[in-house]
Structure 1
């Protein structure tokens, strides 16, 4: 005797059950939602930066929220690789380059890295995200979450690209010249910022130190996307949707709906809540929040 219908076999079956007109709406790119969200996110960064620079009372306490907002611009850069936040392709490109520069993650390189991740999600030997193993013990988790390996790794990546020595399989030869030129531009930018510290500490207080302080929260967030998910091609299993607060979804550009994003990468961030409504009964790998995910993740680790 059956307890009910079996869950869908994979994400393609779930998507095929969505009426065609609804799928078309879900994949429609629009400028207005992205511009509004960008103004809110960027405006908050600018306001906090001004308050830190003006040394308002309690200004050191503002560096953590500033850092969190800066770190989570990564989720916008990520969306720009899909050209989904805005209908304007030009706007997607500009915003992708700016957010990549702020996070020391070259946009053109990251686009190819990330699209390879989507093609081969969580498949060993194919998904480039698996080239950096997830932490398997508490000490390794603490080191990972500190964000320090990220800064070293990203700087090394920029230097390799600038020297023409970054040639992974997912970066096609036709894309290398532009990616390498972008890296050289970033090195010039970072050198100028470093030199500017001789006469003004502002970049340190409003960008560099906050970015270091905010990165651990992004590391915890990103571990939940695929950490400990099954190594399978089924997007309902190899990716995790994390149920969280409206504030986290706001600053993360709705990317906690991560199964939904992987199942339908063409859906802009503003369509993901509606896509979740179509898919929620089929989700297999979920977490009831980032604290709950982290507790469960560490419980499965060696001391």
Structure 2
């Protein structure tokens, strides 16, 4: 059964229930997530005993804001529409991911998932296929350099990707200029205080390999076919990772039915588990499988 047949087979009341958004669920998750970031930031700034050990978990929380931004592009974390947009714009700042631009980039990814030529996440390039390319990928170099290029070109109004609607070009130009201005002010602030370096810049740099491995598992080693239950991977992992990633380890489920909000994905998994084609028992298993594919 492919994802279309699966969705068609769902009882109407089940389909409606699975698509129900909730401000309460979204704000509860966001509040707890933000509390962790605030607590770690405070401990780092106060230099509590062993505070350097907090840099990596702080970075993991910050870089995984990507998964919240991703959910906001689908308008699913919250029932209230403006909340999705406001949070999406807010979390774009620490990860340099312009929200309006990303929404249409990501919608194109859903339309052409794992298509080597048309999926913009691939950009016509293969995933890392050697140890050198894998290490460069894990460093986050391709992400940071790519986002810097997007921000500069968008700020200049040089927006030409076919999946970016012309009616949104002005908004993309404005958001790029606002983000670049914000980063310029942040850079100036470093001459007066190192606070942002310790609670933001260094953490998002050192935690990149964690996010990159997680993202590689979403579609890596999956076939370039149309069935979302096959071209996307569900990774069975622990509650901490699911919290960090807003339940996106249920990634085949998300691609099969993007209207299902994060808090309903475990329930939707009950319907999909017998039909999943690409799964891994944890990220360590996927990483080992990927490493073996490079060796071969």
Scaled to the shorter chain, the TM-score interval is over 0.9
Deviation, 1:135, is 0.5
Asked if 1:43 corresponds to 2:35, the answer is yes
Aligned to 2:180: 187
- Looking at structure 2, the residues matched to 122 and 151 of structure 1 have their Cα atoms a distance apart, in angstroms, of 22
SS of the residue 1:84 aligns to: coil
Asked if 1:52 corresponds to 2:57, the answer is no
Residues 7-65 of structure 1: per-residue CA shift (max 9 Å, x gap)? x2x11111222211011000011100000000011110111001101111111110100
Residues 209-255 of structure 1: per-residue CA shift (max 9 Å, x gap)? 00111111000000000112111111111111011111100110000
TM-score (norm. length: structure 1): 0.95
Query: Unaligned 5+ residue runs, structure 2?
Result: none
Deviation, 1:298, is 1.2
Asked if 1:297 corresponds to 2:290, the answer is yes
Does structure 1 retain, via aligned residues, the 8 Å contact 2:116–2:126? no
- Looking at structure 2, the residues matched to 56 and 182 of structure 1 have their Cα atoms a distance apart, in angstroms, of 37
Does structure 1 retain, via aligned residues, the 8 Å contact 2:105–2:163? yes
Deviation, 1:81, is 0.1
Aligned to 2:25: 33
- Looking at structure 1, the residues matched to 34 and 172 of structure 2 have their Cα atoms a distance apart, in angstroms, of 25
SS of the residue 2:294 aligns to: coil
Paired positions, count: 295
Aligned to 2:240: 247
Aligned to 2:54: 62
- Looking at structure 2, the residues matched to 166 and 57 of structure 1 have their Cα atoms a distance apart, in angstroms, of 48
Does structure 1 retain, via aligned residues, the 8 Å contact 2:22–2:79? yes
Match of 2:218 among 203, 216, 225: 225
Asked if 1:93 corresponds to 2:85, the answer is yes
Tell me which stretches of 4 or more aligned residues in structure 1 moved more than 3 Å. none
TM-score (norm. length: structure 2): 0.98
* CA RMSD, Structure 1 to Structure 2 (Å): 1.0
